[in-house]
């Protein structure tokens, strides 16, 4: 009897000690910075048996405000406040539970100089969109990483091809030669997920995908780009993560996601429902609570822990890397209240920063309310400065494909009264989610030149998709649309990065883009000027851009036949007997016998002297 009692007592004590033991495996964010406006942060603690513990720092400058015990003891959260007078240094957070203590380093870094960082982007910029996996392979050693899904299959359009951050760094001179000013890279965070070379299925929100590089290499890319006068735009995703993310198999809280992998609703891809005054609540819920696709878990931003995590993660990346802007993916599918607070927090910390939200709808009336201070949105101010102009893109596509003429382009711009600031729209002809311009134009180079002339001389912030400047064609399939840039990969027979490596047709198109960008930079009326236009007649679109004493006259003839423009029309918008300099060709254009001749399918940029 005594032996049984002693054994029971030993087991009881051992069990009690085991229950009291705990383990901390990770803290996110893993550091912060001294002197931040955002100095009250919430730490996410990962480990085992994380309940009923105490925590403190080895400095009075960091105060633990609250510890949250969760039903899932693999996670906990701690609210801390960091004194604005704290000195940078290596501090420690001390966890204790009973007699057990754990000490973990928690660095508070010194903020680097903000000079040349967080610059934002505006209508003076030309954004160049890159899918890193398909641009250039600068480090072949990281094409396969132990412990990660091996989908390196260069011949498969839906697999990884090996492009990486080093490849982009190696070709910074190419961007300067072309003349673009900002690089938008599709997401670069860890995507340990099948068919996610594109980057939109994150499995770690604090780590660059090892097949692209490291956190340190990404920071180097930003620094090197800044030295070369280039800005970096970070493609960010608040809406969803990969179903391979550890959270999916081990939920921090039951409502961490909107539904579960086994039981969820699908998103209705109709952004109009946000502003539909007749819409049923279920319709709105399908937009913000539905899963975008089944293998991307929909984050519940209305959960306060998720909300804080995403805001702090965003600020962490901006501060760590020094990026200049964010392109926010699938913007309408995110909780509106969260998105407004997220943008406010980011722009409060970085007033010169900028954010563009992806709103995929071709209706200006549905696009406009997403922009901050919108006259059409009297409810919650989105605080979102820039939105994607899919309406203009659709009009471009209609012209390229032959479904419509230039009037549709004019018609979209005629609705600019709906926007709070039409110059704060990201404008584009094609991107990584849709067929390329050359494919839609059936390889008609003149059509492509015409729409890009409009893109770079109209209002807004223009974006060019990588390879468009050399006439990459592709087809309707995502993996082929995002084909490799020739010359960036081992075994390529020639390099489109160089004049000698490009074909004659590629050099012709490259030279056109380079010249057009130079003209845009030289004449501020093209990027900052006031737009005035005439309704197109016979597929001829006439408009002016005016800035201070500078006036540009742009004439687009989208017809297959030559035209003659009545000189009275020209004089009505440019003044009597104007002198007209064709800035692309440096030649004088004259009104002859009361007419200004236009070649078929031509774009003319004329400086009014």
The DSSP secondary-structure symbol of 126 reads -
**What span, in angstroms and rounded, lies between the C-alpha atoms of 603 and 597?**
12
Q: Give residue for tokens 């036949």.
A: 561
Task: State the first-to-last Cα distance of the chain, in angstroms, to the nearest integer.
Answer: 110
Other beta carbons within 10 angstroms of residue 549's beta carbon come to 6
The partner residues of 582 in beta bridges, in order of sequence, read 587, 606
Q: Give residue for tokens 């840039």.
A: 485
| Catalytic residue (choose from 235, 345, 358, 430) | 358
The continuous run of DSSP H or E covering 531 comes out as strand 530-537
Burial class (CB in 10 A: 0-12, 13-18, 19+), 478: middle
* Known catalytic residue at 358: yes
**Cis amide bond preceding 39, omega within 30:** no
SS3 of residue 392 by DSSP: helix
The continuous run of DSSP H or E covering 108 comes out as strand 100-109
Structure tokens at 225: 């780009």
| Catalytic residue (choose from 329, 389, 397, 430) | 329
DSSP E strands in 391-432: the ranges are 425-428
Tell me the C-alpha to C-alpha distance, in Å, between residue 203 and each of 191, 248, 392: 5, 10, 34
Other beta carbons within 10 angstroms of residue 450's beta carbon come to 23
286 Cβ neighbours under 8 A, 6+ residues apart: 265, 266, 267, 268, 273
Side-chain-side CA neighbours of residue 561 (13 Å)? 5
CB 238 within 8 A of CB 307: no
* Known catalytic residue at 262: no
- Which residues are known to be catalytic? 329, 358
């Amino acid at each position: 009897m005594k032996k049984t009692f002693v054994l029971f007592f030993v087991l009881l004590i051992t069990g009690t000690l085991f229950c009291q033991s705990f383990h901390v495996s990770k803290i996110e964010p893993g550091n912060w910075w001294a002197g931040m406006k955002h100095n009250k942060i919430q730490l996410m603690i990962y480990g085992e048996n994380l309940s009923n513990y105490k925590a403190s720092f080895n400095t009075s400058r960091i105060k633990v405000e609250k510890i949250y015990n969760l039903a899932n003891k693999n996670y906990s959260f701690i609210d801390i406040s960091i004194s604005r007078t704290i000195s940078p240094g290596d501090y420690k957070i001390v966890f204790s539970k009973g007699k057990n203590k754990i000490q973990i380093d928690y660095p508070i870094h010194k903020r680097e100089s903000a000079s040349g960082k967080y610059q934002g982007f505006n209508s003076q910029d030309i954004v160049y969109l890159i899918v890193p996996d398909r641009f250039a392979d600068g480090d072949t050693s990281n094409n396969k990483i132990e412990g990660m899904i091996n989908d390196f299959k260069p011949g498969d359009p839906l697999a990884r091809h090996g492009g990486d951050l080093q490849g982009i760094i190696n070709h910074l001179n190419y961007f300067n030669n072309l003349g673009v000013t900002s690089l938008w890279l599709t997401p670069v965070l860890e995507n340990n997920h099948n068919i996610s070379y594109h980057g939109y299925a994150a499995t770690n929100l604090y780590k660059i995908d090892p097949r692209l590089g490291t956190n340190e290499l990404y920071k180097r890319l930003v620094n090197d780009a800044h030295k070369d006068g280039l800005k970096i735009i970070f493609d960010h995703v608040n809406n969803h993560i990969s179903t391979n993310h550890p959270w999916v198999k081990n939920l921090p809280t039951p409502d961490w996601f909107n539904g579960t992998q086994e039981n969820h609703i699908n998103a209705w891809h109709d952004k109009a429902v946000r502003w539909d005054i007749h819409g049923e609540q279920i319709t709105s819920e399908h937009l913000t609570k539905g899963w975008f696709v089944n293998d991307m878990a929909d984050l519940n931003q209305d959960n306060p822990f998720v909300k804080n995590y995403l805001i702090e993660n965003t600020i962490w990346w901006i501060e760590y890397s020094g990026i200049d802007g964010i392109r926010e993916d699938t913007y309408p599918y995110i909780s509106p209240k969260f998105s407004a607070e997220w943008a406010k927090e980011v722009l409060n910390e970085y007033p010169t920063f900028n954010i563009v939200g992806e709103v995929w709808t071709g209706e200006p009336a549905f696009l406009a309310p997403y922009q901050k201070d919108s006259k059409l949105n009297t409810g919650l101010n989105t605080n979102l400065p820039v939105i994607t102009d899919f309406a203009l893109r659709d009009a471009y596509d209609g012209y390229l494909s032959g479904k419509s003429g230039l009037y549709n382009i004019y018609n979209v711009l005629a609705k600019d009264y709906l926007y709070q600031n039409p110059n704060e729209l990201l404008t584009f002809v094609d991107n990584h989610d849709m067929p390329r311009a050359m494919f839609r134009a059936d390889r008609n180079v003149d059509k492509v030149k015409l729409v890009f002339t409009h893109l770079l001389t109209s209002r807004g912030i223009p974006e060019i998709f990588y390879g468009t400047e050399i006439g990459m064609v592709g087809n309707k399939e995502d993996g082929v649309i995002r084909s490799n840039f020739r010359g960036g990969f081992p075994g390529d027979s020639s390099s489109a990065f160089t004049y000698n490596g490009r074909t004659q047709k590629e050099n012709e198109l490259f030279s056109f883009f380079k010249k057009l960008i130079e003209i845009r930079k030289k004449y501020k009326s093209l990027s900052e000027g006031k737009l005035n236009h005439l309704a197109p007649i016979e597929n001829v679109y006439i408009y002016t851009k005016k800035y201070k004493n500078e006036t540009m006259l742009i004439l687009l003839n989208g017809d297959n036949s030559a035209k003659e423009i009545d000189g009275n029309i020209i004089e009505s918008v440019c003044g009597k007997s104007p002198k007209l300099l064709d800035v692309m060709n440096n030649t004088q254009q004259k009104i002859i016998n009361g007419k200004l001749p236009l070649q078929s399918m031509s774009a003319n940029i004329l400086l009014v002297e």
